Chains A and B, each alone.
Chain A
Amino acid sequence: MEQKLFKVFVLITTLIALKSFASGTFYALIEPGGTTWSQIFTFTVKQTVKVEWQYDETQPIAVDRGDSESVVGFIRIYSNKQFKISANVYVAETSIQPLVVPKQVKIGSETIGIGEVLMVTPKNLQGNLVIVFEIDWENLQAEEFPVVLEFTFYPF
């Protein structure tokens, strides 16, 4: 008798547990003209970014002495949605840091100031990648110096 009661108890508790797992329930009579039930879902597409460059990043890139600009090469940055981009340029060597100050990065017709955020509305950014410096040519001794270019992408 007690075992039977226990079995019933277990059955009932599992049924209650199963029911409580449901996020929601709907119950209605089926009307001859039809019974409706509706739910609204929100959908999203995960945002991705793709970068293509047509230059050899291991080769030295010339800096124009006249306007302190350095044309790196063709770059294309595109996303499946609108996005925001910020650019940072670091001069690696501490001895050169006071002499070479990065000012801005240009991609095609767009200009991104160092540490500034650019909104990319047509989902893509492409063109010649140009890094603009402010260089103290008088005191610059080094022929070559490494520079780190860093892009950060944000959702719109």
Chain B
Amino acid sequence: MKKLRILLKIHNHVSIFGFGRILVFLFALIFSSLALSQTINIEWYYDEGTTFIIDEIYQRVSIGTIYIYSNVKFKFYVIPKVLDVQSVTVTGVRIKNQFISMNPSSPTIVTNKWVYGTMVIYFSYIEPPEDFKVEFTFVFLPL
């Protein structure tokens, strides 16, 4: 009987010790991911594969809804690169009513940790171009 109790005790001790170790490890993992790392999440609610039709009067096109959020304050800018034609320039990228900086030295600062709304692209051209592609590179930086 005594022998059994000792065995149980040892077993309990070992198991608690083991569980504790796992808990500490888990806490460390959660803590490190929450406090140390800054993450960026992007969700888009449009089909990026479709052909977007430019409004000829305003020379702009509405892409769709985009949601950018982080666990921290961040700053970002966008670099548009027109791929197929020379006669077109991208003059602005707007999300809801905020124009996103296209200048790496003065990025748009997001203090509320999120940007949400319809993304609208503004163009400038004299002659209407043939179909063309534009690569938009967003760069996110810690604040």
- Show the binding face of A for B, using Cβ within 8 Å: 19, 21-30, 32, 34-46, 48, 80-81
Residues of chain B contacted by A39 (CB below 8 angstroms):
44, 48, 135-136
B132 CB–A CB distance under 8 Å: yes
Closest to A27 in B: B41
Instruction: Given A41-B52, A41-B133, A44-B54, answer yes or no on A30-B43 (Cβ-Cβ < 8 Å).
Output: no
- Show the binding face of B for A, using Cβ within 8 Å: 37-48, 50-54, 56, 61, 63-64, 67, 70, 72, 74, 83, 121, 123, 128-142
Residues of chain A contacted by B129 (CB below 8 angstroms):
45
Q: Are B39 and A38 in contact (CB under 8 A)?
A: no
Within 8 Å by CB of A40, from B42, B54, B133, lies B133
Q: Are B130 and A23 in contact (CB under 8 A)?
A: no
Closest to A123 in B: B127
Query: What is the number of contacts between chain A and chain B, taking CB atoms within 8 Å?
Result: 116
Residues of chain A contacted by B46 (CB below 8 angstroms):
23
Can you name 25 A-B residue pairings with CB atoms under 8 Å? Answer: A22-B43, A22-B45, A26-B40, A27-B39, A28-B39, A29-B37, A32-B142, A34-B139, A34-B140, A35-B140, A36-B137, A36-B138, A36-B139, A39-B48, A39-B135, A40-B133, A40-B135, A41-B134, A43-B61, A44-B51, A44-B52, A44-B131, A45-B56, A45-B129, A46-B56
Instruction: Given A43-B54, A43-B131, A80-B56, answer yes or no on A38-B43 (Cβ-Cβ < 8 Å).
Output: no
Q: Are B132 and A38 in contact (CB under 8 A)?
A: no
Min distance, Cβ A112 to any Cβ of chain B, angstroms: 24
Residues of chain A contacted by B123 (CB below 8 angstroms):
43
Min distance, Cβ A36 to any Cβ of chain B, angstroms: 5
Given contacts A23-B44, A37-B140, A41-B52, 8 further A-B contacts (CB under 8 A): A19-B43, A27-B39, A28-B40, A30-B40, A36-B140, A42-B50, A42-B131, A43-B53
Q: Are A43 and B52 in contact (CB under 8 A)?
A: yes
Closest to B41 in A: A27
Q: Are B130 and A81 in contact (CB under 8 A)?
A: yes
Residues of chain B contacted by A45 (CB below 8 angstroms):
53-54, 56, 128-129
Q: Are A35 and B40 in contact (CB under 8 A)?
A: yes
Closest to A33 in B: B141
